[in-house]
Amino acid sequence: MGQINEFELIKRYLAPLQCRQIPLSVGDDAAILPCDSATYVCTDTLVSGIHFLPHWPVEHVAYKAVAVNVSDLMAMGAKAQTIQLALTLPDAQPDRLAALHQGLKAACETFGVCLSGGDTTRGAIMVLTVTALGTAASGRPWRRSGVRPGDLLAVTGTLGDAALGLAMLMGQAPEDDACMLALQRPQLPLDAWRYLTKLDVHAAIDISDGLVQDAGHLAAQSGVSIVIELERLPLSSPVQQWCAHHGNWDPPLFGGEDYQLLVAMPPELARQAQTDGQVRIIGRVERGQGVSVLHQGRVFPLSGTQGFQHF
């Protein structure tokens, strides 16, 4: 089957995802969005060969492009409502576009968002840039600068699965479907997030570049010291077994792409959230600066590995 033109691409694969509840979305030079309150906005880009491999299922890539942006809004205590998509493709083959549509559709349905506009263009490689817009779901924004000494640090979900999935692609670990899916199509902690929006969360960040690095952002912007206890980290069985076998805890500490929430909360709220099965307490906040990792009360020597760096 031959390629289709840009306008047919939009009509067939993108327009069905457009927002119906806003004055104007897909089809004109700009969208018209109602704005009765503060709007939260974030943008993320996935580039073939950098953020995903060319042979990955296009459906997963499209889903992930939306998910990583929704995750950023969740980390601010905001609910995503609409997305904009800037799409670059080397060709316009209908089978690739059908898979792209299915991934975008699944993400829109899962996260309750719709497409309000964007752009399509031809380029040497596939690139998806998504901008997500949302509104407050918590009482106030969860800013990185809100951590306070005495807070407890907690995380949703498990850590290191996506990093182990990447190790599997490189032949460094036995294959596990769940870890591969965590890498290619992350499942966000929607239930835990909804629970947390009702609490006095002091600060949050989504774990996209690695636990230690992202905790470091909280510590730096809040002017505090964060202490992480290695034995408290929530790990899936494959990650736990791999780390113990190799004596290497880099996947959960530095791997990134977990897209779980790291939150700082008052101790009583953190303990209740843990009792309710929504988070796992992994550390505490003290006066000082930086991030340290302890194991059984002793300083755990870090490998020197950093989290993900774009440059």
Residues 6 or more apart whose CB falls under 8 angstroms from that of 206 comprise 71, 72, 74, 75, 214, 259, 260, 261, 262
- What local confidence, expressed as pLDDT, does residue 25 receive? 61
CATH 3.90.930.12 matches 6-28+37-136: no
What residue ranges do the domains of the chain occupy?
6-28+37-136, 144-299
CA within 13 Å, CB half, 299: 6
Closest CA to 109 of 183, 30, 190: 190
pLDDT tops 80 at residue 305:
no
Read off the pLDDT of residues 157-190 as tens digits, 9 standing for 90 and up. 999 999 999 999 888 888 899 999 999 999 999 9
Structure tokens of 278?
A: 């929504």
Of the options 1.25.40.10, 3.90.650.10, 1.10.3720.10, 3.30.1300.10, the CATH number for the domain spanning 144-299: 3.90.650.10
Closest CA to 141 of 220, 33, 257, 41: 41
Could you tell me where the DSSP H helices lie in 44-189?
58-74, 94-111, 161-169, 177-184
Query: Taking the model in full, what pTM does it have?
Result: 0.91
Amino acid letter, residue 119: D
Read off the pLDDT of residues 56-72 as tens digits, 9 standing for 90 and up. 999 999 999 999 999 99
pLDDT tops 50 at residue 1:
no
Among 219-223, 289-293, 297-301, the least confident range = 297-301
- What local confidence, expressed as pLDDT, does residue 233 receive? 98
Q: How far apart are CA 125 and CA 297, in angstroms?
A: 48
Closest CA to 267 of 292, 286, 247: 286
pLDDT band at 209 (very low <50, low <70, confident <90, very high): very high
pLDDT tops 70 at residue 308:
no
Task: Return the residue matching tokens 């947390």.
Answer: 196
* C-alpha angle 80-84-90 in degrees, rounded to nearest 5: 135
What SS3 string covers 158-211?
CCCHHHHHHHHHCCCCCCCHHHHHHHHCCCCCHHHHHHHCCCCCCEEEECCCCH
Higher pLDDT, 33 or 46: 46
Mapped onto helix, strand or coil, the DSSP state of residue 133 is strand
Q: How far apart are CA 155 and CA 274, in angstroms?
A: 9
Mean pLDDT of 260-267: 98
Closest CA to 165 of 268, 257, 72, 47: 257
Higher pLDDT, 186 or 7: 186
Structure tokens of 149?
A: 């000494």
